[in-house]
Amino acid sequence: MPERAPSPPEGTPLAALEVALAKADRVRGRHHVPGAHGAGRTRGDVRIEAKADTSSDRATGARPATVCLISLYLSESLAVRQLCASLKAHGHRCSLIFFKEFRWEVFRPVTAREEELLLALLGELKPDLVGISLTSSLVADLAYDLADKVRDRTTAKVIVGGAHPSVSPEEALEHADFVCRGEGEDAIIEVADAIANGRAFDQIANIWTRHNGEVVHNDVRPLEANLDLLPFVAFGDPDSYRIEDDRLDRLDPATQIPLYHTTASRMACPFNCTFCGGPWLRRVLYAGKGQPRRYRSVGHILGEIKQARERHPGIQQVQFWDEVFAVRAPEGWLDEFCERFPREIGLPFGIWSHPGLLIEPTIEKLKRAGLKKVVMGVESGSQHVRREVLNRKETDAAILRSADILKRHGVEVGYDFIVDIPWLTEENLRGTFTLIMQLPEPFEVGIHSLSFLPGTAITERALAEGKISKEQVSRANQPLPERFESHLWKSGLSIRDRSSAFWHSMIYLASVPLVPKPLLWRAYRWSALFKLFPGPVMIAAEAARMKGETGEVKLWEALDAVHPRLAGFLARHPRLGAVANRVVRKVGRWGYRLVER
């Protein structure tokens, strides 16, 4: 037995790693005896058991590679789960690292300790290849920063893949040894094979790399037509780690929640909204490479969910992440799904859909099968903006009809709107307010900021018309915390831009059940006055937002957020503050009386 190495000093990443891993192993009833297992590796007291060598299972007889896949701010990531399952099915060793979680309510930046934990974990796992999933431009800077550090501090090769590097491979290749464009299952297997076996990797389809200092661009391979050939995504895999809140845990975060994430199709959406990255993937990257819209068989989907439930019986709901669920599905697919899902799974499920597509018979069938919630993008209350700027053809009437169908069938609903499209006029914002006011309650509304994603039609147009600069395209246009919060409405609007401040606040108030609708209609009728003095409406909106976050109405904090100078002045003059308080209450009561009339 080798001599026990001293424990890492307390508080260092390795110490934390040790604690986390020892805890995980205690949970599994396993004890670390350094050197006792042939396949294990040790460092200090830290020991990460390597998987049994599966090389003998490999049809090729080639050596397996050790791969670590990192998902950034996306603990559900289907991408790394799918890639991991494919790598393992081909005999490679693969660990999943879920680095930070995506929480809509609040952005939590990466801490120095979390970064150290990640690098220390990689130091222990000693991968040949580290894959970073860059699902969206949102996490591009973080991905590149980590890729640079991994290349500096470990001997692993780094590969990045996902939607963002698919559009911007040159940029990604500055930070990685390989960039995968498009779907990555076969490509990463070939890269792993090549690395483990010392073979050339400059002719692998979908991969961009450097060879003798020159960038090598390989074409994208044809799309896999039969999705049933893919193994079920990795879920509850023992080689999963989570880094969050300055700690490392050996667990799959998806098994900690009662919601199971999956998809029924790939690239199924038939629409071409100008702000969306999907059309570029379908029409540019995969032009001539086969039909992008592909469906898994119902049996394959149900098999995956059943297997997941065996591993985590606590699953209480399923979320399908198809862009538009069941759109243009093969004949008979929807009927088979609606017949088998309740019988074989019997859980409620949520979907994304499209307001131009919701028809009553489909909703009826899906509701009987367990449909609980539909989320769909309406994007703007102005038909003109939808048609001319966003390339969305549905009319206001169609949107209201869809909303009505969902309401009548008792399906929960969420709508998404974008409120800062550069071409929007005051009239368009008014349209968004009135449309939200007409939607049947209850509903949830997500108010978003427009991200200028690279490659999208709206970005090209905004660049051509000088509405944005190249630096503003997607990831470059805001610091990470702001980008994360871009989907949340914030009062940060300047009171000087009175008209937009008023309409944004009104839209927000219409989307949350705090201020009674008649009061909002009254403010709407008095918009000429409130546009000159938007303060009260802004404070009400900010108070509503804070209520959403904290559950309490905090008028003082809301005033401070909207008008810090006034709040400061009142704080310094408590008597005046008390008078202001009385006035606000009086105005509030007066407002409510107006509503009752």
Q: Among residues 367, 358, 394, which one has the least CA distance to residue 379?
A: 394
Residue 563 · residue 495 · CB < 8 Å: yes
Burial of 161 (0-12, 13-18, 19+ CB in 10 A): buried
Residues 79, 85, 90, 92: is their CA dihedral positive or negative?
A: positive
Task: Give the integer Cα–Cα distance in Å for 355 and 478.
Answer: 31
Which ranges of 208-321 would DSSP assign to H, the alpha helix?
Answer: 278-280, 298-311
Q: Count of residues binding ligand B12 (CB under 6 A)?
A: 42
Distance CA 208, CA 181 (A): 8
- Only one of the segments 11-19, 145-153, 270-278, 357-365 lies at the binding site for ligand SF4 (rule: CB under 6 A); that segment is 270-278
- Our finding on whether 269 is near ligand SF4 (CB under 6 A) is yes
The count of other CB atoms within 10 Å of the CB of residue 22 is: 17
Residue 323 touches ligand SF4, criterion: CB under 6 A: yes
Q: How many CB atoms lie within 10 A of CB 337?
A: 23
Query: With binding defined as CB under 6 A, does residue 164 bind ligand B12?
Result: yes
Interface residue with ligand SF4 among 81, 354, 386, 448 (CB under 6 A) is 354
278 binds ligand B12 (CB under 6 A): yes
- Contact letters for ligand B12, residues 549-578 (x by CB under 6 A): ------------------------------
Q: Rule CB under 6 A: is residue 175 a binding residue for ligand B12?
A: no
> Pick from ligand B12, ligand SF4, none: which does 180 bind, CB < 5 to 8 A by kind?
ligand B12
Sheet (strand 259-262) strand order: 259-262, 317-320, 349-353, 371-379, 412-418, 444-448
CB under 5 to 8 A by kind: which of ligand B12, ligand SF4, none does 194 bind? none
273 contact choice in ligand SF4, ligand B12, none (CB below 5 to 8 Å, kind-dependent): ligand SF4
Selected from 13, 32, 66, 82, the binder of ligand B12 by CB under 6 A is 82
Q: Are strands 41-43 and 129-133 parallel, antiparallel or unpaired?
A: unpaired
Residue 107: contacted member of ligand B12, ligand SF4, none (CB under 5 to 8 Å, by partner type): none
Closer by beta carbon to ligand SF4, 74 or else 196: 74
HSE-CB for 396 with a 13 A CA cutoff: 16
Characterize the bridge pairing of strands 349-353 and 207-211: unpaired
In the complex with ligand B12, which residue's Cβ is closer, 28 or 103?
103
- Binding flag, residue 188, ligand B12 (CB under 6 A): yes
195 binds, among ligand SF4, ligand B12, none (CB under 5 to 8 A by kind): none
DSSP track, 4-17: PPPPPPTTSHHHHH
Could you report how far apart the first and last alpha carbons of the chain are, in Å? Answer: 86
Distance CA 156, CA 150 (A): 7
φ, ψ for residue 287 (rounded to 5)? -60, 125
354 makes contact, choosing from ligand SF4, ligand B12, none, with CB < 5 to 8 Å by partner type, with ligand SF4
- Near ligand B12 in 414-453, by CB under 6 A: 451, 453
431 binds, among ligand SF4, ligand B12, none (CB under 5 to 8 A by kind): none
271 binds ligand SF4 (CB under 6 A): yes
Q: Which x/- pattern over 49-78 shows residues binding ligand B12 (rule: CB under 6 A)?
A: -----------------------xxx-xxx
Token digits for 197?
Answer: 């076996």
Nearer to ligand B12, 453 or 515 (CB): 453
Interface segment toward ligand SF4; rule CB under 6 A; list 46-54, 105-113, 269-277, 570-578? 269-277
The correct pick among 97, 117, 172, 276 for binding ligand B12 (CB under 6 A) is 276
State which of residues 182, 184, 377, 455 lies at the interface with ligand SF4 (CB under 6 A): 377
User: Is omega for the bond preceding 442 within 30 degrees of 0, making it cis?
Assistant: yes
Which tokens sit at 56?
């003998």
Q: Quick check: 323 binds ligand B12 (CB under 6 A)?
A: yes
When asked if residue 182 is in the footprint of ligand SF4 (CB under 6 A), the reply is no
Query: At residue 104, what is the residue type?
Result: W
Single out the segment in contact with ligand SF4 by CB under 6 A; choices: 39-47, 197-205, 238-246, 264-272.
264-272
Q: How far is the CB of 223 from ligand B12 (least distance, A)?
A: 10
Cα–Cα distance measured from residue 323 to residue 331, given in angstroms and rounded to the nearest whole number: 19
Specify whether the backbone of 91 is left (phi greater than 0), alpha (psi in -120 to 50) or beta. left
Task: Kindly state the DSSP code that residue 125 receives in the 8-state scheme.
Answer: H
Collapsing DSSP states into helix, strand and coil, what is residue 164? Answer: helix
User: Under DSSP, is residue 308 helix (H, G, I), strand (E, B) or coil?
Assistant: helix
196 binds, among ligand SF4, ligand B12, none (CB under 5 to 8 A by kind): none
Rg (CA), the chain: 27
Q: Contact with ligand SF4 (CB under 6 A): which of 48, 273, 329, 541?
A: 273
Residue numbers 278-297 binding ligand SF4 by CB under 6 A: 278-279
Binding of residue 377 to ligand B12 (CB under 6 A): no
Which two tokens mark 466? 């000088």
Q: Which is nearer to ligand B12, 418 or 540 (CB)?
A: 418
- Euclidean distance between CA atoms 274 and 463, whole angstroms: 13
Residues binding ligand SF4 (CB under 6 A):
269, 271-273, 276, 278-279, 323-324, 354, 377
Residues binding ligand B12 (CB under 6 A):
72-74, 76-79, 82-83, 102, 131-133, 135-139, 159-164, 167, 180, 183-185, 187-188, 261, 263, 267, 276-278, 321, 323, 451, 453, 487
